[in-house]
Structure 1
Amino acid sequence: MDPGDPYLIACTGCDWRSADDGLRMSCPRCGDGALLRTEYATTSFTVAPEASGVFRYRSWLPVRREIDGSSRPAVYRSEGLGRELGLTDLWVSFSGYWPERGCRMVSGSFKELEAYTVLGRTPQQAGVMVVASAGNTAAAFAAAHGPGVPRLLVVPDRAAPVVAAAGGCSADVRVVALRGATYNDVIDFSRKLVASTPGFFPEGGVRNVARRDGLGVIALTAFEEMGTLPEFYVQAVGSGAGAIATYEASERILASGVAAGQSVPRMLLCQNADFAPLGRAWRGEPGPADGGAQADPYAPELANSTPPYDVHGGVRDILRSTAGDVLVADRAAAQSARAMFEELEGIDIEPAAAVAVAALREAVRSGRLPRDAKCLLNVTGGGRRRLHATTTAGAVPEGGATPESSGIRSVGLTASPDEVAAAVLDSFASGRWPLAPTPVGY
Structure 2
Amino acid sequence: MKDFTPTAYTLVSVATGREFDDEGWLLDDKQSEKPTLIRTRYACKQLDVKPEEYGIYRFADWLPIRRMLHGSSAPVTYKSQGLASHLGLENLYITFNGYFPAIGANMTTCSFKETEAYSVCARVNEEERRILVVASAGNTARAFAKVCSENHIPLLLSVPADNLDALWFEEPLDPCVKLICAEKGGDYFDAIHLSNLALRSDRFYPEGGAKNVARRDGMGTTVLSAATTIGRIPDYYFQAVGSGTGAIAAWEANMRLIEDGRYGSNLMKLMVSQNAPFVPMHDAWRVDSREMLPYDEDKARRDVEIIDAKVLSNRKPPYGLAGGLYDALKATGGEMLVATNAQGSKARRLFLDLEGVDLHPAAGIAVASLIKAVGEGKIDKDAVVMLNITGGGEQLFKKDKTLWYLKPDHIFPLNPNPEEVIRKVESMFA
* Shorter-chain TM-score above 0.5: yes
Return the match for 1:199 from 200, 203, 227.
203
Asked if 1:320 corresponds to 2:330, the answer is yes
SS of alignment partner, residue 302 of structure 2: coil
Match of 2:359 in 1: 349
Q: Distance between the aligned counterparts of 2:116 and 2:295, measured in 1? A: 31
Alignment correspondent of 1:394: none
Extract structure 1 runs of 4+ deviating beyond 4 A.
Answer: 166-169
Q: CA deviation at 1:57?
A: 0.9
| 1:192 counterpart SS class | helix
Given the alignment, which residue of 204, 221, 225 partners 2:225?
Answer: 221
Residue number in structure 2 paired with 1:239: 243
Q: Name 2:3's counterpart in structure 1.
A: none
CA distance in 2, matches of 1:418, 1:340: 50
Q: Which residue of 2 aligns with 1:165?
A: 169
By how many angstroms is 1:372 displaced? 2.1
The AA in structure 1 aligned to 2:274 is: Q
Query: Does the Cα contact within 8 Å between 1:193 and 1:418 map onto a contact in 2?
Result: no
Distance in structure 1 (CA, Å) of the matches to 2:419 and 2:197:
8
Name which of structure 1's ranges 413-422 and 200-209 shifts more when overlaid on structure 2.
Answer: 413-422
**Residue identity in the other structure for 2:368:** A
Question: What percentage of residue pairs aligned between the two structures are identical?
Answer: 37
Q: CA deviation at 1:206?
A: 0.4
Amino acid at match of 2:66: R
Corresponding residue of 1:41: 43
Alignment correspondent of 1:20:
22
Residue 299 and residue 418 in structure 1: after superposition, are their counterparts in 2 closer, same or farther (change >3 A)? same
Q: Does 1:289 align with 2:296?
A: yes
Does residue 1:419 correspond to 2:420, yes or no?
A: yes
1:5-34 CA-partner distances (Å, limit 9, x unpaired): 710111111132222133111101115611
CA distance in structure 1 between the partners assigned to 2:177 and 2:163 by the alignment: 16
Distance 1:176 1:167 in 2: 20
Once the 2 structures are TM-superposed, how far is the Cα of residue 257 of structure 1 from its aligned partner? Answer: 1.1
1:5-404 equivalences in 2 (<5 Å): 6-30=8-32, 33-49=35-51, 52-124=54-126, 125-145=128-148, 147=151, 149-165=153-169, 169-180=173-184, 181-195=186-200, 197-260=201-264, 262-284=265-287, 286-290=293-297, 292-295=300-303, 296-390=306-400, 397-398=401-402, 400-404=403-407
Q: Which amino acid aligns with 2:153?
A: V
CA distance in 2, matches of 1:88, 1:188: 46
Shift of residue 270, structure 1, vs aligned partner: 0.7
Amino acid at match of 1:219: V
Letter in 2 for 1:119: C
Shift of 1:235: 0.2
CA–CA distance in structure 2, aligned partners of residues 288 and 15 of structure 1: 33
Tell me the alpha carbon deviations over residues 241-299 of structure 1, each in whole angstroms, 9 at most, x when there is no partner. 11111111111011011124x31210000101211111111112755333723212221
Cα gap change, 1:288 to 1:185, in 2 (>3 Å): same
The amino acid across from 1:116 in the alignment is Y
Counterparts of 1:426 and 1:193, CA distance in 2: 12
Displacement, 1:88? 1.6
Q: 1:18 to 1:210 in 2, by over 3 A?
A: same
Deviation at 1:179, TM superposition (A): 2.0
Structure 1 unaligned residues grouped into runs of 5+: 391-396, 430-442
CA change 1:169–1:425 in 2 (3 A) is farther
Post-superposition shift, 1:46? Answer: 1.1
Counterpart CA distance in 1 for 2:271 and 2:153 is 35
CA contact (8 A) 1:310 1:316 kept: yes
Residues 281 and 319 in structure 2, CA contact (< 8 A), matched pair in contact too? yes
Deviation at 1:166, TM superposition (A): 6.1
Distance 1:312 1:324 in 2: 17
Q: Distance in 2 between matches of 1:161 and 1:109?
A: 15
Give SS of 1:293's match: helix
Deviation of 1:169 after TM superposition, in Å, equals 4.5
Structure 2 residues without counterparts, runs of 5 or longer = 1-5
SS at match of 1:52: helix
Aligned residues: 415
Greater Cα shift, 348-357 or 180-189 = 180-189
DSSP-derived class of the 2:205 partner: strand
Q: Which moved more, 1:37-46 or 1:276-285?
A: 276-285
Q: Structure 1 pair 62/32, CA: closer, same or farther in 2 (3 Å)?
A: farther
Give the SS at the match of 1:42: coil
Mapped to 1, the partners of 2:429 and 2:173 lie a distance apart of: 11
Is the alpha carbon distance of 1:113 and 1:97 closer, same or farther for their aligned partners in structure 2, counting shifts above 3 Å? same
Q: CA deviation at 1:403?
A: 4.0
Quickly say closer, same or farther: Cα 1:187–1:331, change in 2 above 3 A: same
- How far did 1:161 drift? 2.1
Whole-angstrom distance in 2 between the partners of 1:383 and 1:408: 29
Taking only aligned residues, the RMSD between alpha carbons, in angstroms, comes to 2.0
2:198 maps to a residue whose letter is L
Distance 1:126-1:33 versus aligned 2 partners, 3 A rule = farther
Contact 1:194/1:202, CA 8 A, preserved across alignment: yes
What amino acid does structure 2 have at the position aligned with 1:313?
Answer: G
What TM-score do you get using the length of structure 1 for normalisation?
0.89
Deviation at 1:409, TM superposition (A): 4.5
Distance 2:346 2:294 in 1: 28
